[in-house]
Structure 1
Amino acid sequence: MRRRQFLLHTAGLSGASALGLTACSSDGDATTLKLLVASYDESVGSSIGDQWSGLIAAFEKAHPSVKIDMERVPFNKLDRTLARRVKDGDAPDIAQSNVFAPYAKDGKLYSASDLFEIRTEADFTRSYAEAGSVKHIQYGVPFLASTPRLFYNKALFKQARITAPTSWDELVSAAQALKALGVKTPYGLQLGPEAAEDEMLSWLLADGGGFAGLTSYDFNTEGNVRTLTWLRDELVGAGLAGANPAGLNRTDAYAQFMKGQIGMLVAHPVLMSAADKYRFPYAHTAFPRRQGGAAAPIGLSDWLMAFRQNGNGEASGTFLSYLYGRKSAKAYGGGQAALPVTSSASAALRADSAQRPLWKFIDQMPQAQFQPVNLLSWPMVRAAIRKEIGAAVMKGGSPRAVLESLDMAAAQAEL
């Protein structure tokens, strides 16, 4: 939730983010959908509710046979609220969540092919559509998508006479130069419990590793041990990642970067809005592979899903098709807080010179690699990663022991 507060307080939200939930009803011949999505802190300056109100008003004008009601659930209560309502037999028609796989497994969701025409379904960025799939059928519709890059402080880099790193050796050299300048945390290694799995996966992918093999989790591999050992010895042990990377959360890392206390870090495009607001000197580049070149980027997304319970698949499909249509997707699916998740909207933003700051992020979305969000056990495994992974890279830490522990936790979660 703290990550969300930072994202929204600093950048607002150009994309859709807050639908609601009320009882399903009928107004004459009109079908009223019940919709459940996140709400955010009211102190956020961007008029999230107004944006959605405008979208819904335009939709209802174009489709008078479908009405939309709204209730907002705080983001940090969203998944629990949805799970409880589904269990109680009060499933919404459409909901936002971090979790879709359990509902898909239980046969509670419409598939994307049930909801969209072929043209619209095929328009989703393939990497995100695949991440939203269970057994090769898409149930999770990507929403509030993002992909990070390596941000760095241009002023500090200029002062240290260094350039953006393109390999891990260059990253270490840059971090050493920043340390010589007195930078408190040359590289912001974000292994605190807020989003440690994102930072970890960025490094593992950059060294040919990852979280899973072909059919199951596979943490304890020689490649993953090699990666974490390098982080422990070459980055953390050398004093290049601050005093306590195991406790550094994303929200705090972003704030420290803006204060000049962190020289470089993995960050999402939303950080640009805060930096631009304060005219902070930053740039970003692809996260480097160990031996050089651009690493496979990670992809992140919330998900929308449509529930079967009320039998409103046609109306739900009509609304979602409007939301992800070629015109709406650009207006409501882009911006520095949420990247577009359709090829047509990406192309439109990519052709708009005013959106130039987003181009590099958009360009890497098709190559994005995801955490195993389509596995029922992922929430439990993610919790284990957040709890344990930081210890692997601290002084005296044992990468292999931690990875073995994660494999055991994954096996238990799978059971």
Structure 2
Amino acid sequence: MRLAASGAALWLTGVALTGCGAVPGLSGDNEVTLRVVAADYGDNPQNSSAGYWKNLATAFEKDNPGVKVEVSVYSWSEVDAKVAAMVKAGKAPDIAQIGAYADYAEAGKLYTADELLSVKTEADFLAPLADAGKVRRVQYGMPFVASTRLLFYNTKLLGDAGIIPKDGSTPWQPKSWADVEAAAKKLKAANVPTPFALPLGREEAQAETMMWMLSGGGGYTDNEEAYAIDSAENVKTFEFLRDRMVGQGLTGPVEPGKLDRQAAFDAFTRGEVGMLNGHPTLLKQATGKGVKFGMVAMPTADGTDHSAMGVADWVMAFKNGHKKEAGKFLDQLYSAKNVTAFTNQYDLLPVTTSGYRAMEAANGGSSTQLRTFLTALPNSRLYPVGKKSWAGVSEDIKQNIGKAVQPGAQPAKVLEQIADSARKADGEK
């Protein structure tokens, strides 16, 4: 849950980090260098993930003489492609923290989790997330952080538009898409620049797409886990978005296919967006800018309950001959101290049982708001990350799903093209 989990620092091209390391000229011939590639969850230079990884590398090197750790941190818009290019060039990193793992597992390039982790670490993963990290019942992908999604709304804008009381005494409680459409129309009439932000740009279109598909009773796969991207339910979902949201001018001045998630978040924190789907990172960003907001479960097509979307980002270790060293580093990465430090910094959800219990028990601050997200995590639906084709399918969605909501578009045709490519890539008939 990127969070395919999470923030994206578009300002960051790439930051290479090392811990303390050995003194030049004094290193022994047996020194091992672990190369780690990670995604950035910050939204500006001050809260970049680079600092977290630097501290982690420094502490690990101190406890493990003879092992050097080099970490490269990239924005979410490029980290998956960076790792793919490294692998293609025969220079795979030892450890990668990215959005998908199954294609590398299918190619036989990854160590299994039980080859790497201590029994204590492996057993601490939340069961649904550990299961999502498996290919043919063997775990290769280790969840890093998770998130679920809720619909955020600006309480001042909704109050000024007459959707809720101006004093905020009654929260907004939409149940169906009709409720969302009606509210968006009132926001438009009140001159809100973007009544409903619909980010279907390259950054995280696959997440926005899945949220709408699930709320429409569909999803990326059917009950047999075969691709069902072009299902009747999904087609109806995108016809609604094309006709009722985009077609009525309710999604703002930027074409959805060109609107990235972080740009939508930034606009929300500037008070320019009435509603948008968001993950826990938006809590801190909006609070930091003084925006008053509410959160509700994503309304559905007909007002009945459907599964919410969960997202996990993944850690994997490539077979570079450094299994022992990589395993020790991962055990440290998943220690309760380090898991809590990262999830607290970015208001994300823990992937371990110990972290889950700690967040449930926490009082005050963002922990109270995060519990709303946490409650949805155990029963949420994740991307089909166990499919070797998912990385390519996700990229196809990023490039093309925005076309489905353009005026005059044919959603059925766009979804069929994506689905046909997905089935072919996955070896489905």
TM-score > 0.5 by shorter chain: yes
- Contact between 1:19 and 1:38, CA under 8 Å: does it hold in 2? no
Residue aligning to 1:281: 292
Instruction: Count how many residue pairs are aligned between Structure 1 and Structure 2.
Output: 405
User: What secondary structure is seen at the aligned counterpart in 1 of 2:346?
Assistant: coil
TM-score for the superposition, normalised by structure 1? 0.85
Identity %: 37
- For the pair 1:368 / 2:377, whether they are aligned, the reply is no
Ranges in structure 2 where 5+ consecutive residues have no aligned partner: 165-171
What does residue range 16-27 of structure 1 map to in structure 2 within 5 Å?
A: none
Which deviates more, 353-362 or 28-37? 28-37
Residue aligning to 1:38: 38
Residue aligning to 2:414: 402
Residue aligning to 1:259: 270
Residue from 293, 306, 316 that aligns with 2:326: 316
- For the pair 1:124 / 2:134, whether they are aligned, the reply is no
Measured in 2, the distance between the counterparts of 1:295 and 1:304 equals 29
Residue aligning to 1:115: 116
- Contact between 1:20 and 1:36, CA under 8 Å: does it hold in 2? no
1:28 Cα shift? 6.4
User: What secondary structure is seen at the aligned counterpart in 2 of 1:69?
Assistant: strand
- For the pair 1:248 / 2:250, whether they are aligned, the reply is no
- The verdict on how the C-alpha distance between 1:397 and 1:130 changes in structure 2, with shifts beyond 3 A counting, is same
User: What secondary structure is seen at the aligned counterpart in 1 of 2:294?
Assistant: strand
Measured in 1, the distance between the counterparts of 2:110 and 2:218 equals 32
- Contact between 2:194 and 2:272, CA under 8 Å: does it hold in 1? yes
- Contact between 1:18 and 1:52, CA under 8 Å: does it hold in 2? no
- For the pair 1:161 / 2:143, whether they are aligned, the reply is no
- Contact between 2:177 and 2:300, CA under 8 Å: does it hold in 1? yes
1:9 Cα shift? 8.3
- For the pair 1:211 / 2:220, whether they are aligned, the reply is yes
- Contact between 1:37 and 1:73, CA under 8 Å: does it hold in 2? yes
Residue aligning to 1:304: 315
Measured in 1, the distance between the counterparts of 2:335 and 2:34 equals 21
Residue aligning to 1:139: 140
Amino acid at match of 1:171: V
- Contact between 1:20 and 1:73, CA under 8 Å: does it hold in 2? no
1:296 Cα shift? 2.4
Amino acid at match of 1:389: I
Which deviates more, 318-327 or 46-55? 46-55
- Contact between 1:9 and 1:45, CA under 8 Å: does it hold in 2? no
1:238 Cα shift? 3.0
1:177-199 Cα distance to aligned partner (Å, 9 max, x none): 22232223221122233322211
- Contact between 1:144 and 1:337, CA under 8 Å: does it hold in 2? no
- Contact between 1:146 and 1:269, CA under 8 Å: does it hold in 2? yes
Measured in 1, the distance between the counterparts of 2:384 and 2:359 equals 28
1:202 Cα shift? 0.3
Which deviates more, 84-93 or 357-366? 84-93
- For the pair 1:222 / 2:224, whether they are aligned, the reply is no
Amino acid at match of 2:151: L
1:155-196 Cα distance to aligned partner (Å, 9 max, x none): 112222332312222222222222232223221122233322
What does residue range 45-124 of structure 1 map to in structure 2 within 5 Å?
A: 45-46=46-47, 48-61=49-62, 63-64=63-64, 67-75=67-75, 78-124=79-125
TM-score for the superposition, normalised by structure 2? 0.82
Measured in 2, the distance between the counterparts of 1:387 and 1:9 equals 18
- The verdict on how the C-alpha distance between 1:5 and 1:169 changes in structure 2, with shifts beyond 3 A counting, is closer
Measured in 2, the distance between the counterparts of 1:173 and 1:31 equals 64
- Contact between 1:192 and 1:250, CA under 8 Å: does it hold in 2? yes
1:65 Cα shift? 5.8
- The verdict on how the C-alpha distance between 1:392 and 1:356 changes in structure 2, with shifts beyond 3 A counting, is same
1:293 Cα shift? 5.5
RMSD of aligned Cα (Å): 3.4
